[in-house]
Amino acid sequence: MIRVELVKRPQHSNFYMLMSPFIAFGLTLVFGALIFLALGKNPFTGLYFYFIDPLSQVWSLHELAIKAGPLIMIAAGLCVCYRSNNWNIGAEGQFIVGAIFGSMIPILMPGFQTVLTLPLMLIMAMVGGAIYAGIPALLKARYNANEILTSLMLVYVAQLLLDWLVRGVWRDPQGFAFPGSVRFPPAATLPEMIPSQGDAHYGFLLALVAAIAVWFFLAKTLKGFEVSVLGLSPRAGKFAGFSASAMVFFSFMLSGALAGLAGISEVSGAIGQLREVISPGYGFAAIIVAFLGRLNPLGTIAAGLLLALTYLGGEAAQISLGISDKVVRVFQGMLLFFVLGCDTLVHYKIRIVSRTAEGSAT
């Protein structure tokens, strides 16, 4: 019998540590090509439509920014969570609840249309996302419940809540019974950055600002230092006088607030109303973005753009080659798989042990 085991390397190579996301992307391309081949498509055309074509036109670059914005914003918050060893998997739910909170203003107070409307919506969304992320934080800090499970399960709660709202109490009376709220007035809409060229709204800029701010916070401030300390060693954190349970709340609520902000940006900037589905899985894809970006908020900018490309490429490939848009999920899955695999192999090597030989020796 043969057993495969992972053996920790005495020293890991910094070079490969940096290269790991690129190798992972390369492997994704190779296996993507194989998938196209298996589907009976020319792999080179497939990869061209998937990764190059969306970058060839100005309007599709705008689309890229629209998709990358929420990914970067959510992932920047997740960096704080994951670095402090708090596993928030529920950003998708916080994204939705943030959107719901922010949308309260144009939906429940349609008359309130001033210059303050939009900022207030953004703040409400952050509050909503933070409160919703506070639930798994409370369950973890107080009752020691596994935050991976609770935060994930709360995603479905949020999705159903949204579905209920837009089909029920918040449905637009003039909407011909289609699910969806009233369309937001201009005062409640996040404007486009360069309206003459494309649809990209200021959500992308907000995301860049958020990523840079979170990077500065993690790298330069004492609270950011506290994040790394508690993530690396809770005991040493206690010695430093840092509170692990306060950090659970802080990291969850910060990432929840950013996810909520991303949610309202998407609804008010890209969609223009609250619908029954407002996210193609941004909250989950952002987990990939965070890891692909080495849990560094600046890295999430590049990683977010790459992941956004897989969304656009999926649409492009669907239109041009007639393959299922589920390929997007496959590509995202492969990317995460390879980046985690590469990271593991930077720290560990594989050893194959034959059981029979060992049994006789003991």
Partner 1 sequence: MLDFCLQPFSNAGMVSEEADNNKKQPEEPAPGQTMAGSDGVPMLEVRQIVKSFGPLKANDNVSLSVGSGEIHSLLGENGAGKSTLVKMLYGSLQPDTGEILWQGKPVNITSPSMARQTGIGMVFQHFSLFDSLSVADNILLSLEESFATSDVADKARQLSIDYGLPLNPHSIVGDLSVGERQRVEIVRCLLQNPDLIILDEPTSVLTPQEAENLFETLERLRSEGRSILYISHRLEEVKRMCDRATILRHGKVVGECDPAQETAESLASLMVGTNVNKANRRAAGEIGDPLLEITGANLPAGSPFAIALKNVNLTVRGGEVVGIAGVAGNGQSEFFRLVSGEDVIANADAINIRGTACGSSGINERRSLGAAFVPEERLGHGAIPDLSLSENLLLSRHGSDSAAFLRMGKLGLIRTEITLDATARICEKMDVRKTGEDPDASSLSGGNLQKFIMGRELDRQPSLLIVNQPTWGVDAGAAARIRQAMMDLAQSGCAVLVISQDLDEIFEISDRITVMHDGELSEPIPIEDATYEKIGLLMGGANPGHVLPEVEEHHHDDTTSGGAE
List interacting residues with partner 1 (CB under 8 A).
Answer: 7, 10, 220-223, 225, 228-229, 232-233, 235-236, 238-241, 351, 353, 358-359, 361-362
Q: Is 192 helix (H, G, I), strand (E, B) or coil?
A: strand
Q: Is residue 262 within 8 Å of residue 203, measured between CB atoms?
A: yes
Nearer to partner 1, 7 or 34 (CB): 7
Nearer to partner 1, 4 or 361 (CB): 361
Smallest CA-to-CA distance from 259 within 93, 146, 109 is with 93
d(CA 229, CA 222): 10
| Degrees, nearest 5: CA angle 106-111-117 | 50
Minimum distance of partner 1 from residue 107's CB (angstroms): 36
Minimum distance of partner 1 from residue 297's CB (angstroms): 17
The rounded Cα 261 to chain-centroid distance in angstroms is: 12
* H or E, element range at 6: strand 2-8
Minimum distance of partner 1 from residue 240's CB (angstroms): 5
Hey, what are 101's tokens?
């909170």
Minimum distance of partner 1 from residue 362's CB (angstroms): 5
Identity of the amino acid at 200: A
Minimum distance of partner 1 from residue 227's CB (angstroms): 12
Torsion of CA 58, 59, 61, 63, to 10 degrees: 180
Minimum distance of partner 1 from residue 349's CB (angstroms): 10
Nearer to partner 1, 250 or 284 (CB): 250
Minimum distance of partner 1 from residue 237's CB (angstroms): 9
d(CA 70, CA 76): 10
Q: Is residue 100 within 8 Å of residue 162, measured between CB atoms?
A: yes
Minimum distance of partner 1 from residue 76's CB (angstroms): 19
- What is the C-alpha end-to-end distance of the chain, expressed in Å? 16
Nearer to partner 1, 174 or 360 (CB): 360
d(CA 84, CA 102): 28
Hey, what are 250's tokens?
């802080």
Nearer to partner 1, 220 or 326 (CB): 220
Smallest CA-to-CA distance from 100 within 73, 117, 121, 74 is with 121
Q: Is residue 94 within 8 Å of residue 256, measured between CB atoms?
A: yes
Nearer to partner 1, 9 or 326 (CB): 9
Minimum distance of partner 1 from residue 22's CB (angstroms): 23
Q: Is residue 25 within 8 Å of residue 160, measured between CB atoms?
A: no
Nearer to partner 1, 52 or 236 (CB): 236
